[in-house]
Structure 1
Amino acid sequence: MSDVDGQQVAVVTGAGSGIGRATALRLLEGGFRVVVADVNEANAAETAELAAAPDRVVVRATDVRSEEAVAGALDFAVETFGALTCVVNNAGVGGAFGPIHTIESGDWDYTFEVLVRGVFYGIKHAARIMLAQGAGGSIVNVASVAGLGGGLGPVPYSAAKAAVVNLTRSVSIELAPERIRVNAVCPGAISTPLVHRGRPERVDDKLAATQPWPGHGRADHIASAIAFLAGPDAEFVTGEALVVDGGLTAAGPGRAFAERLNNDPGLRGMSGVNYGSTGVASVVRHRAGE
Structure 2
Amino acid sequence: MADRNVSVITEFILLGMTDDPELSTVIFALLLLIYLITVLGSVWIITVILASALLHSPKYFFLCQLAFLDCCYSSVFIPKMLVNYIAGQKVISYYGCFLQYSFVNMFLTTECFLLAAMAYDRYVAICRPLHYKGRMTPTFCLVLVTASYLLGCANSLTHLSGLLGLSFCGPNIINHFFCDIPLLFQLSCSDTQSNQILFIVLSGMTSVTTFLIVVFSYLGILLTVLKIQSRRSRFKATSTCASHLTIVTLFYGTVIFTYLGTSSSCPYNTAKILSVFYTLLLPVLNLVTYGVRNTEAKEAMRKIIVRRIFAQ
TM-score normalised to the size of structure 1? 0.27
Question: Whose relative contact order is higher, 1 or 2, with alpha carbons under 8 Å and at least 6 apart?
Answer: 2
Report which of the two has the higher share of helix. 2
TM-score normalised to the size of structure 2? 0.26
Q: Which has the larger radius of gyration?
A: 2
Report which of the two has the higher share of strand. 1
